[in-house]
C-alpha cells in the first residue's frame, strides 16, 4: 500500500507540471515558426548577398540597410567588442518586446529565436533572413542599455 501511495503521489505531482509546460513550449515554437511582418528565416541556397556587420561598444558599423522585397540576406555579425552583443531583426513592437524580455531575464538566461544572432567577444555568427514585405524595420542589440545607447539600425525593404 505504501508503494502504491508513493507512485500515486509521484504521478499526481508530475502531470500538472509537465502538461502546461509542454503546451507553452509547443505554442512558442509555433509562433517562432510563423512568418512575421518583417520576414522569415531564410535558406542558404536563396542568399543573394552577404552583409557584414561589426558590433563594438555600443554601436554597429552599419546603421542603414536597403533590401528588396523577397530578397534573402546573409547577415554576418562579428563581435569586435569586449562584451556580448546581439543583433535582432524586427519591427518596432518585436524589438521593444525583445528588449523588455532581455531586461527581465538578464544576460545569463538569454535565448534566441530565428531573428536573432547572439555573440560573445571575438565571435562571428550568421543569420539568414528573407524579407517578404515592404516597409521599414530595424535591428538592435537588446542587451540591457545597448539599444538605448544607440546600438540600433534601420532596414528598408523596397
More confident site: 132 or 100: 132
Question: Can you give the residue range of the structural domain that contains 140?
Answer: 40-157
Same domain as 106, residue 72: yes
Same domain as 73, residue 87: yes
- CB neighbour list of residue 143: distance below 8 Å, 6 or more residues apart: 83, 84, 85, 86, 102, 107
For 124, what's the count of Cα atoms within 13 Å in the CB-facing half-sphere?
8
- pTM given for the model: 0.74
What would the grid cell of residue 154 be? 534601420
Count structural domains, the chain: 2
As a whole-number percent, the residues of the chain with pLDDT over 70 amount to: 72
Same domain as 88, residue 115: yes
Looking up residue 87, the CATH number of its domain turns out to be: 2.60.40.420
- Reported as a single tens digit per residue, the pLDDT across 30-74 is 334 468 999 999 999 999 999 999 999 999 999 999 999 999 999
Amino acid at each position: 500500500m505504501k508503494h502504491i501511495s508513493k507512485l500515486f503521489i509521484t504521478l499526481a505531482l508530475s502531470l500538472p507540471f509537465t502538461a502546461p509546460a509542454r503546451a507553452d513550449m509547443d505554442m512558442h515554437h509555433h509562433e517562432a515558426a510563423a512568418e512575421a511582418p518583417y520576414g522569415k528565416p531564410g535558406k542558404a541556397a536563396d542568399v543573394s548577398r552577404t552583409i557584414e556587420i561589426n558590433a563594438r561598444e555600443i554601436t554597429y558599423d552599419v546603421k542603414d540597410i536597403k533590401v528588396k522585397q523577397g530578397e534573402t540576406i546573409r547577415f554576418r555579425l562579428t563581435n569586435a567588442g569586449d562584451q556580448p552583443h546581439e543583433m535582432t531583426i524586427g519591427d518596432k513592437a518585436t524589438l521593444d518586446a525583445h528588449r523588455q524580455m532581455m531586461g527581465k531575464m538578464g544576460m545569463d538566461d538569454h535565448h534566441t529565436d530565428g531573428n536573432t544572432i547572439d555573440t560573445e567577444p571575438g565571435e562571428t555568427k550568421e543569420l539568414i533572413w528573407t524579407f517578404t514585405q515592404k516597409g521599414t524595420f530595424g535591428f538592435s542589440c537588446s542587451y540591457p542599455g545597448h539599444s538605448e545607447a544607440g546600438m540600433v539600425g534601420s532596414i528598408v525593404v523596397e
